[in-house]
Chain A
Amino acid sequence: MTSDQGEERGVSRRKILECMTWAGTGVLWTVVGGMPRSLGIMGEAAAAGASGLTFLQISDSHVGFDKPANPNALGTLEEAISKINALTVRPSFIIHTGDITHLSKPSEFDDADRIISQARLDVHYVPGEHDVLDEDVKLYRNRYGRGSKGAGWYSFDADGVHFIGLVNVVDLKAGGLGNLGNEQLEWLEDDLNGCAASTPIVVFAHIPLWSVYPTWGWGTEDAARALDYLKRFGSVTVLNGHIHQIMQKVEGNVTFHTAMSTAFPQPAPGAAPSPGPMKVPDDKLRSVLGITDVTFKRGQQRLAIIDQPLQR
């Protein structure tokens, strides 16, 4: 399986998605020549990692959650970190796409930090709605907001890739979806002005920036404006969480991908009365939780994305 031919990539991606659906640990992202891809198998990840940037995405750790869908969310987060530490190709850093905690409690943030720091990697966070339960978002920003704007948005560069962390979980409007807001969108436009169209862009935010299922609030009200600013770029990868399951869509130069949770699964859109935590048999839980590994290789169009379950 080569990773430099679009058709084959498409096939392998589908295979990967199948694996992920049934397996589910995390997503290994590889930026290959501009487009991040999920890598399906460890061998491919190792190959891509040899000459590219590899980073890791974890999401929705919900530390503090103790309901039947997973009475020990801290334990499964710890398993996810062990999985990261056992990767053949060590990622350069981690991005966490929000819902670090379940109830924004200081003790939950402490527990999350204690476990996640065991990966001994830089972690770039964006908040989920569960991390901003205090009115003024102080708990999250005091810990993770250094150098960020507004409710916690920022950008950084790594190996020629421009990363943008966005916040779409504050100031939500009645009847609406996720929300970026005017101030953040203006900042985004300005931030992108400094980038050449050939710069690979990775955008990460908690709630999907594409319309996954608005009936359950799975989308972002003003994402179209953000995507408009991104359309001149040859390679854009959008990484989200929130829906606790893997979904992927490719639209032109933009690849959208959502990661598994490390805490509990949620039902497929419309498959249950509500998007609440989904109880699966105990021996299946670790097959629907996971991490995502991504590798970028210069000269290739897409990033390689591998979703890995805690247990196959």
Chain B
Amino acid sequence: MRTISALRIAAALAVMLVGVPRAVAAQPAPAAAAEVEIDQFAFVPQRITVKAGTTVTWINDDDTPHTVASSSKLFKSKALDTKDKFSFTFTTPGTYAYFCSLHPHMTGVVVVEAVTGADATQ
């Protein structure tokens, strides 16, 4: 499952814009989510862009344990065995580099964009 989070979010927004009655749309939007697979010693996708407030979940599909460690030490998972998951919610816009602390040649980036006025009101 190589879902690209941006597409997911776009789809969710489209539903909200087009198909959701006003009364429901007025309620708080469900928390945005995105997924990154760890597959064949790589983070897939290697770079994702999400809106602030998005929870990113990493899932290890390898037969080898990996970790998800922020290069700035903002977050670090425990060792993830096969099918283990780790989630982190990005609240502040910015570029977040991370790597596997066991296999440091594995690197990834999460780009967090500010939620615009349009995002918030719609």
Contact = CB atoms under 8 A, between A and B. Distances in A.
Interface of A: 67-69, 102-104, 129-130, 133, 172-177, 214-217, 273-277
B72 to A, nearest CB: 10
Given A69-B63, A276-B40, A172 B102 contact: yes
B63 A276 contact: yes
Nearest to B63: A67
Contacts of B71: 174
B97 A174 contact: yes
Contacts, number: 56
Given A67-B63, A174-B71, A276-B40, A103 B104 contact: no
Interface string B74-104: 0000110110000000000000011101111
B78 A133 contact: yes
B65 interface: yes
B65 A214 contact: no
9 contacts: A68-B63, A104-B79, A129-B103, A172-B101, A177-B104, A215-B105, A217-B103, A276-B40, A277-B63
B64 interface: yes
**Which 8 residue pairs are nearest across A and B when measured between Cβ atoms?**
A274-B40, A174-B99, A274-B41, A133-B79, A217-B105, A67-B63, A172-B104, A129-B102
A69 B105 CA distance: 23
Given A273-B40, A277-B64, A216 B105 contact: yes
A276 B42 CA distance: 11
A175 B105 contact: yes
Interface string B35-52: 000001110000000000
Contact of B41 (A68, A104, A133, A216): A216
A67 B98 CA distance: 27
B99 A175 contact: yes
B41 A103 contact: no
A67 B104 contact: no
A103 B103 CA distance: 14
A38 to B, nearest CB: 27
B107 interface: yes
A151 to B, nearest CB: 14
B23 to A, nearest CB: 47
B62 interface: yes
B104 A175 contact: yes
A177 B42 CA distance: 15
Given A102-B65, A130-B65, 4 more contacts: A67-B82, A129-B103, A175-B99, A274-B42
Nearest to A279: B63
Contacts of A216: 41, 105
Contacts of B104: 172-177, 217
A104 B107 CA distance: 23
B41 A177 contact: no
Nearest to B69: A174
Contacts of B41: 216, 274-276
A103 B65 contact: yes
